Structure 1
């Protein structure tokens, strides 16, 4: 059965999702500021800590312009948190990669994000799995 976009339950869920996102961003910005980073710099560093990648791919993942990522990577590079290196598979491509200090900072950032982690820890594995699967479904990703 189709759900109306204005039924009370849908409106409540949308409002709750908005509240969660707002609280997460506030927590994230505070964590970033503790490391003298902007939220955007912290997001780029966090993404690169998962795997080095070309800046164009960083821009795609963060849904922003590649020129913005270039500036952010430049500032992270000056701070010694990121470096550019040739892609071993295609030496014409440069990868942005975290330095050892960058990896340490990214780990500290992740460890300081209590807002999302603490409430999730109160959910059972089954509940967290269900929430993950529902969020993936909302985003059109495979469960």
Structure 2
């Protein structure tokens, strides 16, 4: 039986680049349908995981803290997020997703037609495998890549 050729790291990186480009384009278009920039949509997506301090958001989104302030100001005006004092340090402000913010990020994800169509081609076992592999590569934890 012939051996399956090894897929090189460069090939994987190229496929990830293409995949992320398609995902980002789909996400950007869906965010625009909600009258949000991609950065505003990404902020809502990060906050879907839970409240975060402004400094943490800026680091996660790889942007300057002053830029993060402007993004949060605009989201707050639309009642998509609110600032709250941190329970551990009242000088620190956490940003929290509001119910309207949850609705909007859910709408963005629901309107990502290209991404959803691609994922719909996977059966349950393939979805589980993809989830496990992406988690192992990109999420911190035991055995995760650094």
TM-score (norm 1): 0.80
By how many angstroms is 1:99 displaced?
2.3
* Structure 2 Cα separation of the partners of residues 91 and 14 of structure 1: 42
Q: Deviations 1:101-132 (Å, cap 9, x if unpaired)?
A: 22211111122123223322322333223223
* In the alignment, structure 1 residue 73 sits paired with structure 2 residue 77: no
- Residue 33 of structure 1 corresponds to which residue in structure 2? 32
- Residue 5 of structure 1 corresponds to which residue in structure 2? none
- Residue 84 of structure 1 corresponds to which residue in structure 2? 83
* In the alignment, structure 1 residue 121 sits paired with structure 2 residue 120: yes
- Residue 59 of structure 1 corresponds to which residue in structure 2? 58
TM-score (norm 2): 0.78
* Structure 1 residues 23 and 98: alpha-carbon distance in aligned structure 2, compared to 1, 3 A threshold: same
* Structure 1 residues 119 and 57: alpha-carbon distance in aligned structure 2, compared to 1, 3 A threshold: same
* Structure 2 Cα separation of the partners of residues 39 and 141 of structure 1: 25
- Residue 4 of structure 1 corresponds to which residue in structure 2? none
Q: Report which of the two has the higher share of helix.
A: 1
3-state SS of the aligned residue for 1:51? coil
By how many angstroms is 1:140 displaced?
7.0
* Structure 1 Cα separation of the partners of residues 63 and 14 of structure 2: 25
Q: How many equivalent pairs are there? A: 137
By how many angstroms is 1:84 displaced?
1.0
3-state SS of the aligned residue for 2:92? strand
CA RMSD of aligned residues (A): 2.4
Q: Deviations 1:27-68 (Å, cap 9, x if unpaired)?
A: 111001111110000100121132121111112222222222
- For structure 1, which runs of at least 5 residues remain unmatched after alignment? 1-7
By how many angstroms is 1:18 displaced?
1.8
